Amino acid sequence: MKKVLIVAEAGVNHNGSLETAKKMALTAKECGADIVKFQTAKLSSIVSKYAGMAEYQTENIGRKMSQREMLKKLLLSFEDFRSLASYCTEIGIKFLSTPFDLESIAFLKELGCDIWKVPSGEITNLPYLEKIAEMGGDIILSTGMSTMDEIKHAFRILQSKGERRITLLHCTTEYPAPYEEVNLKALSVLAEEFKCAVGYSDHTKGIEVSIAAAALGATVIEKHFTLDRNMKGPDHKASLEPDELKELVVSIRNIEMALGNSEKKPTLSEMKNRVTARKSIVAKRDILKGEILSEENITTKRPGNGISPMNWHTVVGTAAKRDFREDELIEV
């Protein structure tokens, strides 16, 4: 199985602190993630002054305010991202950030980004999609809140400037996402419909759904994490803490090994157990030479180093070639 790309989604869980963002990048590296991902936006471009918060944001923060007021405290500056991207290179983890506006797309291109993560909320943003289509590089497109027609339309736009490698992430855009609304079977539907790689952006609590997605063929797993779930902010409560992120990475790597390939044959470790686990045809009681072998005097018992019970009907009805003691392997 191709290695699953594990994206540790820091998002805005740094709470606007470059120092915390760097600590999150280092934590993601130490936990074994392949990519640490942030969110880049210009406040004036992402939300109008009239935009209110989502229900989960109000609940997690504990009070109401405008989205603009909330995000003002959470966004890093472009200069912060220059420093952060450099730091990620220094410590050896791939930096990725989701742009939320056209200016941020241009900035991340200048920064050298070669993978574009398109969030679920931008899948119906035509100017945004057309700009991403011009950038080159691979695309990871989240599909939360989307109909199949909306995904098809966005997919065509992203391919309009030349064939691109697009990975579609199935996603349920709620924080945390209810298990009954996860619908992991949609992974195979997306893969079949678009003939492309698929992955999963996980907003559920815990790690089991991400592990299940990896077992079902997800090539990318994206999961929010935080340094401390008790920190103030909209996404902390639906995020993993570092020990959980590490457990997720280890579990997915184990799943990769466990999936193997499609060939069914005994493994090396199984081969050494065949003799002790399988059975042979043995004497049920003492048998005299010349006695006719039948269900009355033979049976099957371990070990499996004699005549296989699959040859039972060949053995039954033949004469014993010598005396056999009870439990002795039958020879013909």
pLDDT (tens digit, 9 = 90+) per residue, 176-220? 999 999 999 999 999 999 999 999 999 999 999 999 999 999 999
The span from the CA of 271 to the CA of 275, in Å, is 8
Torsion sign over Cα 136, 138, 142, 148: positive
Q: 117 has which bridge partners?
A: 140
**Cα→Cα distances 160→89, 165, 168, Å:** 32, 12, 17
pLDDT class of 55 with cuts at 50, 70, 90 = confident
Packing angle of the helix pair 78-91, 102-110 (nearest 10 deg): 40
pLDDT class of 39 with cuts at 50, 70, 90 = very high
The span from the CA of 221 to the CA of 24, in Å, is 18
pLDDT in the model for residue 66: 77
Q: 169 has which bridge partners?
A: 142, 199
What is the separation, in whole angstroms, between the first and last Cα of the chain?
A: 46
Contact 300, 281 (CB under 8 A): yes
**Cα→Cα distances 285→117, 175, 280, 291, 330, Å:** 72, 69, 15, 12, 11
User: How many C-beta atoms lie closer than 10 Å to residue 231's C-beta?
Assistant: 15
pLDDT in the model for residue 121: 97
pTM of the predicted model, to two decimals?
Answer: 0.88
Domains in the chain, start-ordered, CATH in brackets?
5-259 (3.20.20.70), 268-315 (3.90.1210.10)
- Strand 5-11 to 35-40 pairing: parallel
Contact 203, 176 (CB under 8 A): yes
What is the average pLDDT across 255-281? 95
**Cα→Cα distances 276→195, 267, 271, 283, 324, Å:** 46, 15, 10, 18, 21
* Mean per-residue pLDDT over the chain, rounded: 95
Residue that has been written with the tokens 């609940």 in this structure: 59
The span from the CA of 122 to the CA of 100, in Å, is 8
Q: pLDDT exceeding 90 applies to what percent of the chain?
A: 86
**Cα→Cα distances 250→26, 227, 298, 301, Å:** 17, 18, 50, 41
pLDDT digits (tens, 9 = 90+) for 305-320: 999 999 999 999 999 9
pLDDT digits (tens, 9 = 90+) for 132-154: 999 999 999 999 999 999 999 99
